[in-house]
Amino acid sequence: MKTATPFVHLLRGDLLPKQYVNFIGRRSMLEHTLDRAERLVPGERVFTIINRNHLIFPEVTRQVAARHRGTVIVQPENKETAPGILFSLVHIAKRYPDSIVTLLPSDHFVLEEDQLLTYLSTAYHAVKRDPSRIVLLGIGAGRQ
């Protein structure tokens, strides 16, 4: 049985994880996400969680090299999404114990960034008013 070739491999000829790839424009999906996050909070409060295995790619090292000291958190090994989130939350709680945290996956394309930022601001204010809240923003599959 033949397996499908990953899209990034077809596009680039390597297996660079998709969040580090420039699909549109001159920035990768990660760089778009970091820019978006820095429209909400200062860069020294934007944490980037990466998998240690991603560091074999020079493109990954380049993209995280300019981040503020201590804001790139390297997972010792990939344990998928939930443990990765928990791993980052532990780091953030140690540094900023009373923070309101926003998680922004970097492997998604966001066309309407201003609208997303408005929703994120609304969610922030809802949690600030009632810290027992957790807000989950999502979009339906296939929405244009």
Q: From 103, 81, 107, 116, select the one nearest 29 (Cα to Cα).
A: 107
Alpha-carbon span 42 to 39, nearest angstrom = 8
pLDDT at 80: 81
Q: Which helix (H) or strand (E) holds 51?
A: strand 48-51
pLDDT at 23: 80
Alpha-carbon span 23 to 25, nearest angstrom = 7
Q: How confident is the model at residue 25 (pLDDT cuts 50, 70, 90)?
A: confident
Alpha-carbon span 16 to 82, nearest angstrom = 22
Q: How confident is the model at residue 143 (pLDDT cuts 50, 70, 90)?
A: low
Q: From 126, 84, 132, select the one nearest 106 (Cα to Cα).
A: 84
Percent of the chain with pLDDT over 90: 57
* Domain membership flag for residue 59: yes
* Domain membership flag for residue 93: yes
Q: Domain containing 63: what range?
A: 7-129
Count of residues making up the chain: 144
Tell me, what CATH number does 86's domain have? 3.90.550.10
Q: What is the mean pLDDT of the chain?
A: 87
* Domain membership flag for residue 44: yes
pTM over 0.75: yes
* Domain membership flag for residue 134: no
> What's the whole-number mean pLDDT along residues 122-142?
89
For 53-122, give the DSSP string. GGGGSHHHHHHHHTSPTT-EEEESS---HHHHHHHHHHHHHHHSTT-------SSS--S-HHHHHHHHHH
* Domain membership flag for residue 69: yes
